[in-house]
Amino acid sequence: MTTRRNFLRGAAMGAGALAAGKASAAGPDPLITELQDWASFTGAGVDETPYGLPIRFETDVIRRNVEWLTASPISSINFTPIHALDGTITPQGCAFERHHSGAIELSKQDYRLMINGLVDKPLVFTYADLERFPRENHVYFCECAANTGMEWAGAQLNAVQYTHGMIHNMEYTGIPLRLLLQEAGAQMDDNLWVYVEGADASSNGRSIPMAKALDDVLVAFKANGEALRMEHGYPVRLVVPGWEGNMWVKWLRRIEVTDAAVESREETSKYTDVLEDGTARKWTWVMDAKSVITSPSPQMPIEHGPGPMVISGLAWSGHGQITRVDVSKDGGMTWETARLGKQGDSKALTRFYLDTQWDGKPMLLQSRAMDETGYVQPTKAQLRETRGENSVYHNNCIQTWAVNEQGVAENVEVS
Ligand code: MTE
Ligand code: CO
């Protein structure tokens, strides 16, 4: 429908384009000296965007996938545009998705959560039942164990969105799993396990040690203040702070207390790490400290000349807080300590900045995270020494971007 307002907006766009052309010529800046259309006509009414989306100038800040990675988009992955975000919170609308059998549509009315196994009273909760339990708010990162998995054998994908974008960080509202286990009269000995599964066709079943289940695991129904999006497990998902994303079961439907791990597909043939001698490491749940520079990076070239510049990135650790991030401009020979945007939350993304000067010369940019346990993020060479080159999952090595004189960045490996 062409309303008068739309017509005026179209006219305003044309005039804006002309003004921009003039601005590039020498002389007074018409954006400063001339009355602009957006100050002359009224804007959009409150009835036009009942639920807001990003302005059209930001439409390239979206999840993207790498088509050749998986055989089908139903069992696949897309990546968070971390190069274009700042701060730490990931908006749900561009937070990466990982499904083994597609995202399902499950209503609150049709939702049921069963707790069974080694419990006094097996229980089935409706969504309304869950809303009557005490709930908490926590910010946590969720990182797929396969994040950076393509980079083991050498620099592969030329974008931080693809090398490190299987991560998101949200504020969850949820019930401590401990409270639901108590309600069912679950046995809680340290040698017991809970087996959790989802309502989707894949079920994505995983075994979690009882100690973790009683510690900080949440049965969550809100993220960043609003209902979970379908693709993130609406109406209820499990949040397993600091542990690999695969355990964060979406569309959570059953929790069974067991006396042994189930050894499901997702914890044997998948999400384990094949070592040099052919054996596989398993039960590698915690995501070790890791960091990456998001700007400059291949999708975020430097678009100014020498002088002041901001280097920025993200750091996180499944063991707790990030305490320090160092940045190198020379491939790890010398390091400067970056400034944290704010004191890091435990098991959540921490933003870092290095406010620095660019001399216009090429750089080999790296970042290196340290966490509260004293753990230091390893180089790729150090990681390969202990893990070989056959792994896919749990690659937390230091990333290098080579920046040339034009400010263009490229994914490289330094030895
Ligand atoms: N839960 C169910 N039910 N089905 C799934 O396919 N994928 C897992 C996990 N939980 C999955 C699931 C994997 S491998 C990851 S990394 C996270 O969900 C991703 O969560 P997200 O899609 O909200 O980013
Ligand atoms: Co995953």
Express each pLDDT in 296-319 by its tens digit.
999 999 999 999 999 999 999 999
Residue 137 has pLDDT above 80, yes or no: yes
Of 6-10, 56-60, 73-77, 176-180, the poorest mean pLDDT is in: 6-10
Domain boundaries, the chain: 64-281, 290-412
Residue among 245, 273, 250 nearest 143 (CA): 245
The model's pTM: 0.93
Higher pLDDT, 259 or 3: 259
Strand order in the sheet with 123-126: 123-126, 112-117, 252-258, 193-198, 206-209
CA distance 108 to 106: 7
Q: What percent of the chain has pLDDT over 90?
A: 87
Whole-number pLDDT of residue 71:
87
Average pLDDT over residues 393-400: 97
Distance 327 CA to ligand 1 centre (A): 32
Whole-number pLDDT of residue 374:
98
- Tokens 């999708």 belong to 299
Residue 382, CA distances (Å) to 230, 360, 385 in order: 39, 31, 5
User: What does the mean pLDDT of the chain come to?
Assistant: 93
Looking at domain 290-412, its CATH class is mainly beta
Contact call for residues 81 and 63 (beta carbons, < 8 A):
yes
Of 57-71, 166-180, 205-219, the poorest mean pLDDT is in: 57-71
Distance 206 CA to ligand 2 centre (A): 12
CA distance 383 to 24: 49
- For the Cβ of 198 lying below 6 angstroms from any atom of ligand 1, the answer is yes
Pocket probe mutation, ligand 1, options 82, 94, 204, max atoms within 8 Å of Cβ: 204
Average pLDDT over residues 266-286: 91
Contact call for residues 339 and 372 (beta carbons, < 8 A):
no
- Tokens 């990076």 belong to 297
Q: Whose CA is nearest to atom 13 of ligand 1?
A: 246
3-class secondary structure, 291: strand
Average pLDDT over residues 122-149: 98
Residue 296, CA distances (Å) to 40, 261, 291, 380, 407 in order: 38, 44, 14, 20, 8
Residue 369 has pLDDT above 60, yes or no: yes
Contact call for residues 149 and 62 (beta carbons, < 8 A):
no
Confidence at 153, pLDDT banded by 50, 70, 90: confident
CATH number for 64-281: choose from 3.40.50.620, 3.90.420.10, 1.10.3720.10, 3.40.640.10.
Answer: 3.90.420.10
CA angle 395, 397, 401 (to 5 degrees): 120
- For the Cβ of 202 lying below 6 angstroms from any atom of ligand 1, the answer is yes
Average pLDDT over residues 176-196: 98
Residue 229 has pLDDT above 70, yes or no: yes
- For the Cβ of 243 lying below 6 angstroms from any atom of ligand 1, the answer is no
Give, as residue ranges, everything with CB less than 5 Å from ion ligand 2.
Answer: 98, 144, 245-246
Q: What is the DSSP letter of 376?
A: B
Whole-number pLDDT of residue 2:
33
Residue 168 neighbours by CB under 8 Å, 6+ apart: 80, 90, 95, 96, 141, 142
CA distance 115 to 7: 58
- For the Cβ of 345 lying below 6 angstroms from any atom of ligand 1, the answer is no
Pocket probe mutation, ligand 1, options 63, 250, 251, 392, max atoms within 8 Å of Cβ: 250
Express each pLDDT in 3-52 by its tens digit.
333 333 333 333 333 333 444 557 899 999 999 999 999 999 999 999 99
CA distance 113 to 127: 8
Q: What percent of the chain has pLDDT over 70?
A: 94
Average pLDDT over residues 112-126: 98
Whole-number pLDDT of residue 389:
86
- For the Cβ of 232 lying below 6 angstroms from any atom of ligand 1, the answer is yes
